[in-house]
Structure formats: structure tokens, C-alpha cells
Amino acid sequence: MIKINILNRGPIFNWGKNFGYWFPIKYFKEELKDNGFQIDFYNSINDKFYDSDLIIIDNRFFKYSNFNKVKKKLGLHVQNEFLENINKISKKNPNIIWFDLGDSSGNTSFEILPMVKKYVKKQFYKDKNLYKKTFFRDRYYADFYQKKFQLEKDRDFKVYPLLKEYENKLVLGWNIGVGNYFNIIQFNKIQKYRCITKSLINNNLKFLDKYFLGYYKDLIKNQDIFYNFNLRSDDPKKSIHFQRNQISKILKKNFDLPLKRLNHRSYLERLGRSKVSVGAFGWGEICYREFEAVKMGAAVVFPNVDYLETWPNIYKDNFSYLSYKFDFSDLIEKIELAINDKILRDELVLNSQNICKSVYTEEGLKYFVKFFKKITE
């Protein structure tokens, strides 16, 4: 039996902490044990945590310490001093697996590679040579928009390139699509917190399925498209947010749909009534909204991400989504194709939903077993 301890933290009654990125590991805990992996979670570092064959560290653990949370509330700079902490940890247990849960496929922390056994990320560039280059704001797409439109003053970014000797340490993990969203359409907030409480009390999480947002496909579609972005217009990182802002302008001009804030329930209901959900990158390429659209039965039109590898992969062009070019030249064409071709739209929804559903089947379990075998090599 290989003993693996996972270090992560977050508010105990936060839905994402309980049913987000780490949920499938908890869901398949007994099945993983049957395959030789004893996995436990810790929210603090102690002797018991060190006593394992492998220790997995969520990269957000040090950033969201109590001290840093206070600094964030005061508007002060939050520094992620992970190198210093990892160095201390490695002296007690050097078998460290670093989980980079950063939003972008770029924005890496490869300076940690000499100190860890494996480096896991939610999504990688398919071409690892891209990690040997320097991109503006350490993002492939931000670099594209900066070069094309000169959105910000040119500046140097401290980026640690991927060295050839460490390439074998990179292991693909899984993205936020594994998370189970609370079905706020059918249940209220009190039931939400009861659900979280039950998850904390009971070891078997499978009985909570009824609380999760299901997969809709037969809702009445009385709206052509849905788009609703946080534009972050005041953020100085213009190259990161340019795509959202530009798409919003194009869509408002062509479809005359207002951008307004919606509560979560109204947001999901609008998604469910829409034929097409138009997406754009946020701080990274992969966003919650596309997976919410899949669950609500809207066909996804999204920037082309053929340059990425990720899992679960709902980004298979003309199979589970329709892509548009970074320069937006075919955006309206792709949206209108999805709106007018119901057969295509239904196929996109069916295929993307099947991909997401597979996470909690035998297929998904096999992926996680294979993953844990790989990080123990």
C-alpha cells in the first residue's frame, strides 16, 4: 500500500473545497485504496502529514495562509514564499509532488523543479518547447494580443524556462471540470450547507449525488446566445483581459444582449434557456463557465485551444465545442452556425456532457489510478 498525504487548505464550508478540484479523490477513496493507494487530506503540516510515501502540496496552500489573508484584506501584496517552505519540508520528506493549480497553462513555477519529484498541472502546452520561451505576462494568449495590439508598456517578466533535464517530471493532472456544482435551481442555501456538513461527517460521498447540478438537454431554448463576462476593465493587465473585452464589444454590436450581473440561479437558468454559450479566457484558458454551460445543455463556442492538453477534455473542435480564432475573424460565423444547426448543436452538447459524465465512471477511475501510478514511478 502506497501512502499519500495531500496538503491543501480553504474555508471548511466552502463548496469548492469540498466538491471542487479534489472531490474525485475523495469520491474514489475506497476504489483507489483497492488499487494500492491510501490517500488522506491535511490542512496543516504536522508529523503525521510527513509520515507517508508521497506528499502532495497544493500550490495555493502557502499563498492563502492566515497571515496572507490578512494582508489581502488590507490591500497589501500577497507573496507566495513557496520555495522557502518547500525547502524546509523536503528535509523531512523529499518525496514531494507539487500541484500547480494556476489558472493559465503558462504562469508556471518551474524554479521548484529541482526540489520536487513530480510537477503536476491542470493543463499544459502540448509543445513543451513553448515553456522554454518567454511570453508576455507568462501566457501564450496574452503574448499574442500584446504583440498584435500593444496593449501595455513592454516590460520584462521573470520567467523560469523548462530545462530539458526536468521534462520527465511534468505530469498532467485534471482540470476544474471534475468539480460538482451545487444544484441551486432545485435546492436552497440552507440545503447547500447541510450537504457540506454531511460530506464532512460521512466517509461515503456517493449518496450526495442528488444535490449536484445535473445534465440538462431538453430545456426550452428561447434565447440564441448567452455571454456574461467579468470584464475587469480597470485591471492593468490589459493583455490578459483583452479577449473578453473585445468579444463583449463584438457580441453587443451584433446581438444586442445587455451585459448585466446575475445571481447564480438566474445565471444558470439563462444558460439553460440559451442555444449557445460564448466563452473567453479569464486569468487562464479553462474556466468554470464552460463546464456550467455543458451541464445546462448549451453548446459551447470558445477560443481555439488546440495548443493545450488537459483532462477532462471538452475542447475537441467540431465534436464537443466549436472554436474561434484568436483574432475573432470567424467568431460570428461560428456562433451563427451553432445557432442555426440544431443537429450540430445537439451533438456538441451530447458529446461534451458524456465527456464530463465519464469522470465519475470506471473510465474516470482508471484515469486517476493511472495518474497515481505515474507520480509514484
pLDDT of residue 78: 58
d(CA 129, CA 113): 16
> What digits encode the pLDDT tens for the residues 78-126?
555 678 889 899 999 999 999 999 999 999 999 999 999 999 999 999 9
What pLDDT band is residue 360 in, cutting at 50, 70 and 90?
A: very high
The mean pLDDT of 47-70, rounded to a whole number, is: 84
The mean pLDDT of 305-318, rounded to a whole number, is: 98
> What is the DSSP secondary structure assignment for residue 68, as one 8-state letter?
H
Cα–Cα distances in Å, from 330 out to 64, 147, 272?
41, 20, 25
pLDDT of residue 82: 78
Residue 272 has pLDDT above 90, yes or no: yes
pLDDT of residue 304: 98
CATH of 215-359, one of 3.30.365.10, 3.60.40.10, 3.40.50.2000, 3.40.50.2300: 3.40.50.2000
> Within its chain, how far is the Cα of 219 from the centroid?
26
> What is the DSSP secondary structure assignment for residue 283, as one 8-state letter?
S
Residues of the chain with CATH 3.40.50.2000: 215-359
Structure pTM?
0.93
Q: Cell 469548492 appears where?
A: 16
> What digits encode the pLDDT tens for the residues 143-189?
999 999 999 998 877 889 999 999 999 999 999 999 999 999 999 99
DSSP 128-164: GGGGGS--GGG-HHHHHHHHHH--S--------PPPG
Residues 229 and 281: beta-carbon distance below 8 Å? no
d(CA 82, CA 59): 8
Residues 250 and 332: beta-carbon distance below 8 Å? yes
Q: How many helices (H) and strands (E) does the chain have?
A: 15, 12
> What digits encode the pLDDT tens for the residues 9-38?
888 899 999 999 999 999 999 999 999 999
The mean pLDDT of 124-136, rounded to a whole number, is: 96
